């Protein structure tokens, strides 16, 4: 019934704002050349300007990344009384690299964020494998009832994925103009993450249907 579907839609909207609010604001601000200009008599003394013929500005767009990330986390905290680990950590990276970009007026700094954040995630997952912990379940926030062997395999796969995303960001950052990098950052990385996650669905379903891992294939 519609009354039962509404909470799920509301929850999905909140999670979308928390997870993607900052990066969506960043991409939109960059391509539409959104900026705040001092305007005497306007509310709060500022007004929103859009467009123009000047070059697109990564540093100006970074203000929207930082602001959008902060607003998304605040909305999530107010709505759900908690913050999932993954968006909280991602928001922390946005504040650090966004803040450094704005302080030093160097747009190259924000382009390092996907490299560093993905490498940190990968290192955490590899460390989990070494010390026999399950950081992937903690990062995802909603751990599934998978056996230990399945978690180990899934952790290794995600660790390799994060490593590849860091290397891919370095390639795009070093070889492509800013417009291409921003498109790679969003929606490019999101699309790649969704494709990879959907590709893991058959693996997870196989283990969810059995309390123990299936026997290894016979050669």
- Quote the mean pLDDT of the chain: 86
The two three-digit tokens of residue 118, written as one number: 């993905």
pLDDT tens digits, residue range 163-183?
999 999 999 999 999 999 999
Tokens of 91: 């928001």
pLDDT value of position 27: 97
The dihedral sign for the CA sequence 207, 198, 12, 74? positive
- In this predicted structure, the answer to whether residue 116 has a pLDDT above a threshold of 60 is yes
Confidence band of 85 (pLDDT split at 50, 70, 90): confident
Nearest to 161 by CA among 197, 110, 213: 197
Give CA–CA dist 49/146, Å, rounded: 50
Backbone φ/ψ region at 45: left (φ over 0), alpha (ψ -120 to 50), beta: left
């Amino acid at each position: 019934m519609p009354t039962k579907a509404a909470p799920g839609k509301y929850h999905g909207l909140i999670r979308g704002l928390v997870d993607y609010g900052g990066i969506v604001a960043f991409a939109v601000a960059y391509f539409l050349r959104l900026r705040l200009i001092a305007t005497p008599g306007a509310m709060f003394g500022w007004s929103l300007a859009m467009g123009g013929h000047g070059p697109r500005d990564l540093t100006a767009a970074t203000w929207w990344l930082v602001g959008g990330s902060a607003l998304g986390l605040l909305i999530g905290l107010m709505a759900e009384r908690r913050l999932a680990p993954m968006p909280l950590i991602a928001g922390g990276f946005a504040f650090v690299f966004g803040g450094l970009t704005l302080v030093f007026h160097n747009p190259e700094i924000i382009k390092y964020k996907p490299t560093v954040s993905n490498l940190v995630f990968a290192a955490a997952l590899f460390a989990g494998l070494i010390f026999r912990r399950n950081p992937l379940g903690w990062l995802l926030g909603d751990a599934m009832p998978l056996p230990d062997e399945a978690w180990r395999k899934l952790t290794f796969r995600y660790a390799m994925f994060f490593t590849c995303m860091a290397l891919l960001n370095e390639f795009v950052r070093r070889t492509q103009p800013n417009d291409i990098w921003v498109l790679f950052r969003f929606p490019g990385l999101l699309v790649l993450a969704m494709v990879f996650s959907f590709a893991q669905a058959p693996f997870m379903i196989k283990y969810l249907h059995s309390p123990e891992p299936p026997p290894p294939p016979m050669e």
